[in-house]
């Protein structure tokens, strides 16, 4: 029982693959559409999140092909990364073998889903043909001075045994991959100067109306622009300059101390100036042992130390003490702050603890602050006081006015600061793209010549028990002549963050196997930008920022025109079961293979698209899957039972040719379905309601029971519409039924149905009659009555006359084709 989805699905999958049905080539004469889903990491097998991601993308792709667009829909594998390496350590399977086996297996799974990819373009980031160009791109960054090495306190994950970029430290200082608390280590590492693009990355968010507001806000927060001023204090004894950054230059008259980060370079110098050198060293050492979580937790204990040195306020000439404070971060602003306890809560808490004076320089509009009695800082806008010539000025005016004044007199400079930091891309791991540089004792850092790329990853490597990258110990691989002088040099042992590999793959798809360039400019200019990108929201401040950065860099190099990679972004929700994300530890994982085996790919796809709108979390329900399967069986039976009449051909009858009410309703149902399904898919991306409309159409067709030639023709039109509209959702069963009903052409490439305007017009409408806004009656009336006619006819209804019982309505509101509201005094 039930239709034989197993053989049907395989049959069509083989046909699509064999014929290259969904292969797309650049064609300037055709309108293009680039539909892309985030490519998977080859972890072993697809999970439900993948199934959802690829069901959405595939449905859209098939829909757009039917609408006549030239659709690029590629797939590949984000194939470098730690799990392969861990598998190599654990099961002694080489990382490349583990990865390639998984890629082949998952490719097979994607085909069994019925995905309409252009398989010719499959890429794998661990393939030397690909990472050669990843390395080439790195060299372009290096050439432009946007890749550099620096020694800095960096994020280190003990468990992963490598450093991490700031974006990869999440959930209160934990590793994005393994959730281990991250610690700070001082190391020399490679960085990409993403901060050079901070302003553009921020500004261009305004040009992305097709992105969810949520993601744009997250990126704005992450980039964290703040406008203010940089000003220099002078250390009294040595005359040394200490720079600070403030967004509240209007509080300059309220400065009562200066505080430095323990890592501030001047701290070391202070030891030779201050009689309290020992104390300073001890304090700095103690701060260094605090974890970054302790240091940066909100409300964490603020600790400080008077250094015995003083600084001069450049504006007032006042002398204030210099302290070292654990709450000052070295990697934001200048690593030193001007302390204004009266108007900054952190400074306030710190000042109270250490007995530092509080000086009020802004009064609230409706009261007077007294420094002694304050129990917290006043951070709001108010009126300046104790601020010389600026007294009486409201904060909003005072900030720009005082900065202008300060700049003119040389006290400060305008400055914009970003929270965004340069991207740390070194990884002390094996399974990644080697950073293509050589260290030479004479020449220093020497880039590997572009012609010598790729720097191949050795395949036979030994992993050590105690961890660490095997590349660092592979003397044979490490040793190489300096490309510049030829003397023995040493390769860079670190590999690149895998987020580099995924920052440009959507360009590579455009000319996937071109071995002369990273990507062909003409092809990229035809296909890019991606028109629809689909993936999880967890990449809001990771991949989605990095990819934007790379795209802008390519544009600046003249490699492509696009300045933004993704025009429209759809962030799909998680797949959950029993109220929680599917995970092995919770034991609530549903295996896509099982679902496809038991119900078929069409059922799986249909359920996924029907169960929830794409942005919502999707609650997995076995019963729901059965419901979807039941629907497909009903579609199958409907066609099977009416096969002889459906196999006939004939023109469809226009609305004008139908007189009978039943037939006109059927015709209307068909065309209203086309209209709303089209809108749901292309407009708000409400795939669940689109499916609901198709279910309604099936219900109507099932109840129709055609008799006679006219009815049979109408029925045929209904079934063909159902199959055509359902095709992007469930491509196999619909294609099979299409061919069973005698169609020679492929449904996949046959045009999407068009709604006939005349068939959308209603003959009659149900008008709601309200009294004082409460529903009282429903009446069937001809469509298109004017307000006056409508009101007249409703007021003449016997039931309404009875209800009014002689009372004269105070007012009557009539909305044509909708309702009449009769307002009466109670």
Partner RNA sequence: GCCGGGGUGGCGGAACGGUAGACGCAGCGGACUCAAAAUCCGCCGUGGGCGACCAUGUGGGGGUUCGAGUCCCCCCCCCGGCACCA
Site residues (CB under 7 A) for RNA, limited to 702-741: 702-703
518 makes contact with RNA (CB under 7 A): no
| Interaction residues for RNA, span 733-792 (CB under 7 A) | 766, 768, 770, 772-776, 778
Name residues whose C-beta falls within 8 Å of residue 702's C-beta, 6 or more positions apart in sequence: 634, 638
Q: Is 386 a binder of RNA (CB under 7 A)? A: no
Region from 328-336, 447-455, 496-504, 646-654 binding RNA, contact rule CB under 7 A:
328-336
**307 touching RNA, by CB under 7 A:** no
Name which position in 7, 44, 150, 217 contacts RNA (CB under 7 A).
Answer: 217
Kindly list the distances between the CA atom of residue 126 and the CA atoms of 40, 80, 132, 430, 433, in Å, as whole numbers in the listed order.
13, 5, 10, 12, 7
Backbone angles phi, psi at 413, to 5 degrees: -125, 145
CB 517, min distance to RNA, A: 36
Looking at beta carbons only, is 125 or 821 nearer to RNA?
A: 821
Q: Which residues of 87-98 are buried (b: 16+ CB within 10 A; e: fewer)?
A: bbeeeeeebbeb
777 membership: H or E segment, kind and range: strand 774-782
Question: Quick check: 178 binds RNA (CB under 7 A)?
Answer: no
Output 292 or 710, the one with its CB closest to RNA: 292
Residue from 376, 584, 705, 811 touching RNA (CB under 7 A): that is 811
Considering the complex, state which of residue 102 and residue 734 has its C-beta at the smaller distance from RNA.
734
Chain positions 258 to 277 lying near RNA, rule: CB under 7 A, are 261
Q: Which is nearer to RNA, 151 or 171 (CB)?
A: 171
Q: How far are the Cα atoms of 21, 119, 682 from residue 63, in angstroms, in the given order?
A: 14, 19, 9
**Stretches 16-24, 552-560, 629-637, 640-648: which one binds RNA (CB under 7 A)?**
629-637
Q: Does 21 bind RNA (CB under 7 A)?
A: no
Q: Alpha helices of 436-508 — where are they, by DSSP H?
A: 475-478, 498-501, 505-508
The footprint of RNA on residues 400-459 (CB under 7 A) is 417, 419
Query: Considering only residues 177, 634, 664, 793, which one is a binding residue for RNA as defined by CB under 7 A?
Result: 634
- Report the distance separating Cα 592 and Cα 347, nearest Å: 55
Give the whole-angstrom CA distance, residue 252 versus residue 359: 11
Q: Indicate the pairing of strand 123-124 with strand 76-77.
A: parallel
**For RNA, the closer CB: 447 or 614:** 614
Q: How far is the CB of 117 from RNA (least distance, A)?
A: 28
Nearest-approach distance from CB 744 to RNA, in angstroms: 30
Specify burial of residue 360 (Cβ count, 10 A radius: 0-12, 13-18, 19+). buried
Nearest by Cα to 109 from 44, 183, 185: 44
Residues 6+ apart with CB under 8 A from 50: 40, 592
Residue 25 lies near RNA (rule: CB under 7 A): no
Q: Which is nearer to RNA, 170 or 655 (CB)?
A: 170
Of residues 121 and 693, the one with the C-beta less far from RNA = 693
Contact 659, 763 (CB under 8 A): no
- The residue within the footprint of RNA, chosen from 45, 240, 288, 329 (CB under 7 A), is 329
Task: Name residues contacting RNA, limited to 339-358 (CB under 7 A).
Answer: 344, 346, 349
721 or 821: CB nearest RNA = 821
The answer to the question of residue 391 lying near RNA (CB under 7 A) is: no
Q: Are 350 and 256 in contact (CB under 8 A)?
A: no
By rule CB under 7 A, what count of residues binds RNA?
88
Cβ proximity to RNA: between 480 and 689 the closer is: 689
Return the SS3 of 433: coil
Q: List the one residue from 83, 128, 153, 224 that touches RNA (CB under 7 A).
A: 224
The answer to whether 659 contacts RNA (rule: CB under 7 A) is no
Distance from C-alpha of 243 to C-alpha of 247, rounded to nearest angstrom: 14
Does 174 sit near RNA (CB under 7 A)?
no
| Interface residue with RNA, options 282, 297, 319, 557 (CB under 7 A) | 297
Nearer to RNA, 538 or 754 (CB): 538
Within residues 567-626, the interface with RNA by CB under 7 A covers: 610-613, 616-619, 621, 623-624, 626
Taking the C-alpha atoms of residue 26 and residue 511, their distance in angstroms, rounded to an integer, is 10
Cα end-to-end span (Å), the chain: 62
Using the rule CB under 7 A, is 798 a contact of RNA?
Answer: no
The order of strands in the sheet holding 437-440 is: 444-447, 437-440, 488-491, 479-481
**Distance in angstroms (rounded) separating the CA atoms of residues 819 and 221:** 47
CB of 42 to RNA, least distance (A): 25
CB neighbour burial string for 680-711, b if at least 16 within 10 angstroms, e if fewer: bbeeebbbbbbbebbbebbebbeebebeeeeb
Q: Give me the least distance between CB of 768 and RNA, in Å please.
A: 4
224 or 467: CB nearest RNA: 224
Phi, psi dihedrals of residue 56, rounded to the nearest 5°: -65, -50
Residue 299 CB, nearest distance to RNA (Å)? Answer: 7
């Amino acid at each position: 029982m039930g239709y034989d989805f197993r053989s049907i699905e395989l049959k069509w999958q083989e046909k699509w693959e064999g014929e290259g049905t969904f292969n797309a080539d650049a064609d300037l004469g055709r309108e293009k559409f680039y539909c892309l889903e985030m490519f998977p990491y080859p972890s072993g097998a697809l999970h439900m999140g993948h199934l959802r991601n690829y069901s959405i993308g595939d449905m859209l792709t098939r829909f757009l092909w039917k609408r006549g667009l030239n659709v690029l829909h590629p797939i590949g594998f984000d194939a470098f990364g730690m799990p392969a390496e861990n598998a190599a350590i654990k099961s002694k399977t080489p990382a490349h073998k583990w990865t390639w086996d998984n890629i082949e297996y998952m490719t097979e799974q994607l085909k069994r889903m019925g995905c309409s990819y252009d398989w010719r373009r499959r890429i794998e980031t661990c393939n030397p043909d690909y990472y050669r160009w990843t390395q080439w791109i790195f060299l372009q960054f290096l050439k432009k001075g946007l890749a550099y090495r620096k020694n800095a306190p960096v994020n280190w994950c003990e468990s992963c045994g490598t450093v991490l970029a700031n974006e990869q430290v999440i959930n209160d200082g934990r590793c994005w991959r393994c959730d281990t608390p991250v610690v700070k280590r001082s190391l020399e590492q490679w960085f990409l100067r993403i901060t050079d693009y901070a302003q553009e990355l921020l500004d261009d968010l305004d040009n992305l109306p097709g992105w969810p507001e949520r993601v744009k806000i997250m990126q704005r927060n992450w980039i964290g622009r703040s406008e203010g001023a940089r000003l220099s204090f002078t250390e009294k004894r040595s005359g040394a300059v200490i720079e600070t950054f403030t967004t509240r230059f209007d509080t300059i008259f309220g400065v009562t101390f200066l505080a430095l980060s323990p890592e501030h370079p001047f701290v070391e110098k202070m030891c030779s100036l201050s009689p309290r050198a020992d104390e300073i060293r001890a304090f700095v050492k103690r701060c260094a042992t605090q974890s970054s979580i302790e240091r940066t937790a909100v409300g964490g204990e603020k600790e400080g130390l008077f250094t015995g040195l003083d600084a001069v306020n450049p504006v007032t000439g006042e002398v204030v003490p210099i302290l070292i404070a654990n709450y000052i971060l070295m990697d934001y602003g200048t690593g030193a702050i001007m302390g204004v306890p009266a108007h900054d809560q952190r400074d306030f808490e710190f000042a109270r603890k250490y007995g530092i004076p509080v000086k009020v320089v802004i009064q609230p509009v409706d009261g007077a602050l007294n420094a002694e009695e304050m129990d917290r800082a006043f951070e709001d806008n108010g009126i300046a006081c104790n601020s010389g010539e600026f007294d009486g000025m409201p904060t909003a005016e005072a900030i720009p006015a005082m900065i202008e004044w300060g700049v003119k007199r040389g006290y400060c400079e305008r400055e914009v600061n970003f929270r965004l930091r340069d991207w740390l891309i070194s990884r002390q791991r094996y399974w990644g793209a080697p950073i293509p540089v050589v260290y030479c004792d004479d020449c220093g850092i020497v880039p590997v010549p572009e012609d010598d790329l790729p720097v191949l990853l050795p395949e036979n490597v030994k992993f050590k028990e105690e961890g660490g990258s095997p590349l660092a110990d592979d003397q044979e691989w490490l040793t190489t002549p300096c490309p510049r002088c030829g003397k023995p040099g040493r390769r860079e042992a670190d590999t690149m963050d895998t987020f580099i590999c995924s920052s440009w793959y959507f360009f590579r798809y455009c000319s996937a196997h071109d071995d002369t360039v990273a990507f062909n400019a003409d092809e990229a200019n035809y296909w890019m930008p991606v028109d629809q990108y689909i993936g999880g929201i967890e990449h809001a401040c990771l991949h989605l920022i990095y990819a934007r950065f790379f795209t802008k860099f390519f544009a600046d190099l003249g490699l492509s025109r696009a300045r933004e990679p993704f025009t429209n972004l759809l962030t799909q929700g998680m797949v959950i079961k029993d109220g929680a994300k599917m995970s092995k530890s919770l034991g609530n994982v549903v295996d896509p293979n099982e679902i496809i085996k038991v119900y078929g790919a069409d059922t799986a796809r249909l359920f996924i698209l029907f169960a929830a709108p794409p942005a919502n979390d999707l609650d997995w329900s076995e019963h729901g899957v059965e419901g979807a399967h039941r629907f497909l069986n009903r579609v199958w039976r409907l066609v099977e039972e009416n096969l002889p009449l459906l196999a006939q051909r004939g023109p469809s009858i226009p609305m004008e040719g139908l007189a009978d009410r039943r037939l006109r309703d059927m015709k209307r149902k068909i065309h209203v379905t086309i209209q709303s399904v089209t809108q749901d898919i292309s407009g708000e991306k409400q795939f669940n309601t689109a499916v609901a409309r198709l279910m309604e159409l099936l219900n109507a067709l099932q109840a129709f029971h055609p008799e006679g030639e006219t009815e049979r023709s109408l029925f045929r039109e209904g079934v063909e519409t159902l199959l055509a509209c359902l095709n992007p959702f469930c491509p196999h069963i619909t294609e099979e039924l299409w061919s069973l009903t005698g169609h020679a052409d492929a449904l996949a490439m046959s045009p999407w149905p068009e709604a006939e305007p005349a068939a959308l017009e209603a003959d009659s409408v149900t008008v709601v009659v309200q009294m004082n806004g409460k529903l009282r009656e429903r009446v069937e009336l001809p469509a298109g009555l004017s307000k006056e006619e409508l009101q007249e006819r409703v007021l003449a209804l016997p039931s309404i006359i009875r209800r009014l019982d002689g009372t004269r309505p105070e007012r009557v509101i009539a909305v044509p084709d909708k309702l009449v509201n009769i307002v009466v005094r109670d």
